[in-house]
Amino acid sequence: MQLSARDEQRLQGVHPDLVRVVRRAAVDMPADMEFVVLEGLRTIDRQRQLLAKGATTTMRSRHLTGHAVDIAPYLDTDGDGTKEISWHWPHYFRLAGAMKSAALAEGVQVEWGGDWREFKDGPHWQLPWRTYPA
């Protein structure tokens, strides 16, 4: 699949290693699976809003430094012939498989929010604090 101009715009300011993984995942994506980039770099104001809404639990988000990206499966989930963003976990698990393969191929360590024990975050991918201190 091809990343759209909007996807590429949303990757601006994101760490090049993470961008490489996202691009590789797009290239290697099976034909029946697509994804969109929801968000990359985030402002402190937006992080405050998300915290107030309960959409995040931290002000130490890796989005603030360009070490995180949110992506979502993009497919025809209701069979009407148009693709839409999916919020179904099975789709996120498939996408995670593709992302992890891409990360391995690029030699980049990534963490998936879906693997977190608390506050699972299916769209969220980040570079580890340990290997990529801000």
Which residues are at the interface with Zn ion (CB under 5 A)?
68, 70, 124
The CB-side HSE value for 54 (13 A sphere, CA atoms) comes to 0
Closest approach, Cβ 81 to Zn ion, in A, equals: 30
How far, in Å, CA of 64 to CA of 41, rounded? 6
Would you say 33 or 38 has its CB closer to Zn ion? 38
95 and 73 Cβ atoms separated by less than 8 Å: yes
Closest approach, Cβ 88 to Zn ion, in A, equals: 18
Cβ-closest position to Zn ion: 124
Would you say 7 or 70 has its CB closer to Zn ion? 70
The DSSP element (H or E) to which 75 belongs, if any, is strand 68-75
